[in-house]
Amino acid sequence: MQQAQSRTFTWSFAMTLAAIGGFAAAVGVVFGWWSVAAYRESEIFGRELVEEAMLFGTAHWCGTVALVIGAAVALLAVAGVLVHGDGARRVAGISALSGGSFVMAAAALGFGQAAGVAQAQVGAPGLGVEGSAGGGLFFSAAGGLVVAVAGFLARRAPES
């Protein structure tokens, strides 16, 4: 006697997960991708903080890419839940898988661009600058991972 294969996820679940991940990836961009600080060093005062700021992901092109792709994948995933058909499923599943990969790649580039963005935004002659990853960058990367996993699940999910 053969036992029926059990599925713990459905197409609707996968696309809902993709929509949530795409939304998280896009929202993470406006939470602040980088924390930057400008400081001045002197013999009398030591290290004096001149300016400190949290920068949106849109301060660099990789954040803009994550914002656009995250929003597009979220909208395609919502459309994938509402529209049924093999063609729509294929497009939504592939866009979620590839879109999540692109968002994660943009976030990885964002981790490496912290110092460059800090110099471009608050740097001035005579000032030292520091840049580090902010919470929004991690949020966008996690959203991209959720989208990619949802895209993988969508490719294998039964219709529901």
Q: Could you tell me if 111 and 138 are in contact, meaning their C-beta atoms sit under 8 angstroms apart? A: no
pLDDT digits (tens, 9 = 90+) for 36-65: 888 888 778 777 878 888 888 888 899 999
pLDDT at position 158: 67
What average pLDDT does the structure give for the chain? 85
Which has more confidence, 126 or 24?
24
| Spatial CA neighbour of 64 closest among 95, 109, 101 | 109
Helices (H), the chain: 11-31, 61-82, 86-112, 114-122, 135-156
Q: Hey, what domains does the chain have and what are their CATH numbers?
A: 16-156 (1.20.140)
Question: Of 20-24, 117-121, 151-155, which has the strongest mean pLDDT?
Answer: 20-24
pLDDT at position 140: 94
pLDDT digits (tens, 9 = 90+) for 69-102: 999 999 988 888 888 777 777 888 888 999 999 9
**pLDDT exceeds 70 at position 159:** no
